[in-house]
Amino acid sequence: MSSQPTGGSRVSLKDVKKAFGSNVVLQGIDLEIPAGQFVSIVGKSGCGKSTLLRLMIGLDSVTSGVLDAPALKEQAARIVFQEPRLLPWASVKDNVAVGLGEGQSGKAADIQAAAILDEVGLKGREGLWPSQLSGGMRQRVALARALVSQPTLLALDEPLGALDALTRIDMQALLEGVWQDLGFTALMVTHDVGEAVALGDRVILIDHGQVVLDLTVDLPRPRKRGTPEFAALEGQILDKLFGDDPRAREAH
């Protein structure tokens, strides 16, 4: 397995519970995520995986237990959603510069925006409008906006879910390369088990608000789908996720 990046921020959860009134969404979550690790989070709809992501990125607070994430205290955590959420009236460069925060403008901001756009493969597209971009390119802009401030913790909430199959594979390779280059800790929620295995150093499976599987993915990068080793890891996750229901496995 290739060495992990080292510029990220650790995340620790101890007996974390999250409830909305009487509805307990997460309970007894214990996780230790080292700096620089890429963690994939999977589970059925409504299992609590997006709630877990929101807690770890600071968009919500725990009901009880302890969550320790230095990146939150340092304001060095960012998130990428499934929809790019770009400003339609702003150029690609200006959309990326939004990620630097208020008061950041001028030549220095332009240089930072141009550098990260180069990193995500959009060099020369700085002056385009969102309406001129494909879905994959718009998501690259959203990724660049999240990364321009050099976060140590990046959350990704189904970031590739709205893309077509070929674009999705291309974006998976891009995301892996950017993570390796920049060294942040990555937390990605996905419904795609293959994607989880392809990108994650580990795959965490959430079911009924609890961690029911924490699987290390010890495969060399870049990973080749269809190999016996890759398929075995997918099978472990699907077995835990769907049990003995072959129709559910095939549908997934």
Residue that finishes a domain, picked among 126, 150, 174: 150
* Cβ neighbour number for residue 79 with a 10 Å cutoff: 20
pLDDT at residue 102, as a whole number: 66
Q: 27 in a domain, yes or no?
A: no
**Are 207 and 220 members of one domain?**
yes
Q: 7 in a domain, yes or no?
A: no
- Number of domains composing the chain: 2
| CATH number, residue 241 | 3.40.50.300
**Are 156 and 252 members of one domain?**
yes
pLDDT class of 41 with cuts at 50, 70, 90: very high
**Are 155 and 212 members of one domain?**
yes
Q: 55 in a domain, yes or no?
A: yes
From 3-7, 145-149, 168-172, 190-194, the region with the lowest mean pLDDT: 3-7
**Are 122 and 218 members of one domain?**
no
pLDDT at residue 107, as a whole number: 81
Q: 139 in a domain, yes or no?
A: yes
Does the pLDDT at position 4 exceed 60? Answer: no
**Are 166 and 244 members of one domain?**
yes
**Are 165 and 219 members of one domain?**
yes
**Are 143 and 155 members of one domain?**
no
Residue that finishes a domain, picked among 132, 150, 168: 150
Does the pLDDT at position 251 exceed 70? Answer: no
**Are 247 and 157 members of one domain?**
yes
**Are 135 and 159 members of one domain?**
no
Q: 28 in a domain, yes or no?
A: no
Residue that finishes a domain, picked among 110, 134, 150: 150
Does the pLDDT at position 1 exceed 90? Answer: no
**Are 71 and 119 members of one domain?**
no
pLDDT class of 204 with cuts at 50, 70, 90: very high
Instruction: Tell the residue number behind the tokens 């997006």, with chain if given.
Output: 50
Q: 195 in a domain, yes or no?
A: yes
Torsion of CA 138, 140, 141, 143, to 10 degrees: 130
**Are 165 and 234 members of one domain?**
yes
- pLDDT > 70 fraction of the chain, expressed in percent and rounded: 92
**Are 173 and 232 members of one domain?**
yes
Which three-class secondary structure state does DSSP give residue 83? coil
Report yes or no: 145 and 122 within 8 Å, Cβ to Cβ.
no
* Mean pLDDT of the 226-236 span: 96
Q: 2 in a domain, yes or no?
A: no
When the pLDDT of each residue in the chain is averaged and rounded to a whole number, the result is 91
Closest CA to 210 of 25, 21, 14, 64: 25
Q: Quote the domain boundaries for residue 130.
A: 87-150
pLDDT at residue 30, as a whole number: 97
Q: 108 in a domain, yes or no?
A: yes
Closest CA to 29 of 12, 8, 46: 12
Does the pLDDT at position 5 exceed 50? Answer: no
- pLDDT > 90 fraction of the chain, expressed in percent and rounded: 83
* Mean pLDDT of the 123-127 span: 93
CA distance 227 to 231: 6
pLDDT, tens digit (0-9, with 9 covering 90-100), for 45-87: 999 999 999 999 999 999 999 999 999 999 999 999 999 999 9
